[in-house]
Structure 1
Amino acid sequence: MPVVKVAIWIDVPIEFCFDIARNISLHPRSVPHTKERAVAGVTEGLIQEGETVTWEAIHLGVRQTLTARIISMNPPYEFIDRMEEGAFHSLIHVHLFEEQNEGTLMTDILQFESPFGPVGRIFNRLFLKKYMTNFLVGRSENLKEIAEDEYSRTGKPRI
């Protein structure tokens, strides 16, 4: 199973960073190139443990939906979501937050498996792992910009 790990330091307190990362309303701004939008489950505000969100987005030129459930939450240090429905055979996304130098180290760990057995494993190696890495890097950089801007302007995340 491929694993992608991306970390970025964000100059905001850990609680603020934790809330920005689970804010459904702000999420589309973190991945504008995919035109993601919440279409079912929690569609705005802060998602909580046990809740689901269904995203509609364009990936690899195809409109797709993915439903994820928050299966674990330890505020403000960690939350984990797992795909319940979508294009992957399986997908688990671990979101970690660590206080560091008066800011937050935010780390994303994404474990995924494509469908279609051996063909899917080849696709993972040749293409999908790099695509998912680039997706998470872009998302992290955008979340950093959003979080630092929101914190400097308001001191709290817009919900």
Structure 2
Amino acid sequence: MPRFEITTVLPVPAQQVFEACLDVEAHTRSMAASSERAVAGTTHGHLTLGDTVTFRARHFGLTWRLTARITAYDPPRSFVDEQERGPFNRWRHAHSFEPDGTGGTVMTDVIDFAAPLGILGRIADRTVLGWYMARLIRRRNAYLADTLR
């Protein structure tokens, strides 16, 4: 199963970053390039343990829907969202937030995922999806860095 990790340092306290990462509207703004919208579940405000949200977005010229649930929640240290329904066989995104010692936060995203379609999915994971998904997370993190000051 493909896995990648991205670490981002943000100049604000962990509580502020934690809350921003659970804000549905902030998420959709950070994914504006793919026209992402929350269309079901918790569509506004902040997610918490057990909440679901369904996002609709365009990737690779197609419209996709993904429903995720917050399956772990330890404010302001970490939370996990996992796909309940959507295009992946598996999608698990663990978010962690640690103070950097200077008033900022070291945010770590660990994503485990797997495409459907057996061998074709494994080829897609390694040739396209790994770098594409990492680019989406980096774009979201850059948005957070620009807006959290």
- TM-score bracket, normalised by the shorter chain, equals over 0.9
The structure 1 segments of at least 4 consecutive aligned residues displaced by more than 4 Å after TM superposition are none
Q: Report how far residue 28 of structure 1 moved.
A: 1.3
Question: Equivalent residue of 1:69, what SS?
Answer: strand
What is the TM-score of this pair, normalised by structure 1? 0.91
Q: Is contact 1:11-1:104 (8 Å) kept?
A: yes
Gaps (5+ residues) in structure 2? none
Where does 1:1-159 land on structure 2 (aligned, <5 Å)? 1-100=1-100, 101-148=102-149
Question: Once the two structures are superposed, what CA deviation does each residue of 1:56-95 show, in whole Å capped at 9, x if it has no partner?
Answer: 1111111110000000000001000100000001100001
Question: Equivalent residue of 1:25, what SS?
Answer: helix
Counterparts of 2:107 and 2:30 in 1: how far apart (Å)?
Answer: 14
Question: Equivalent residue of 1:26, what SS?
Answer: helix
Counterparts of 1:4 and 1:61 in 2: how far apart (Å)?
Answer: 24
Question: Once the two structures are superposed, what CA deviation does each residue of 1:8-31 show, in whole Å capped at 9, x if it has no partner?
Answer: 111111111100010012111111
Question: Equivalent residue of 1:96, what SS?
Answer: strand
Matched length: 148
Gaps (5+ residues) in structure 1? 149-159
Q: CA RMSD in A?
A: 0.8
What is the TM-score of this pair, normalised by structure 2? 0.97
Counterparts of 2:63 and 2:34 in 1: how far apart (Å)?
Answer: 9
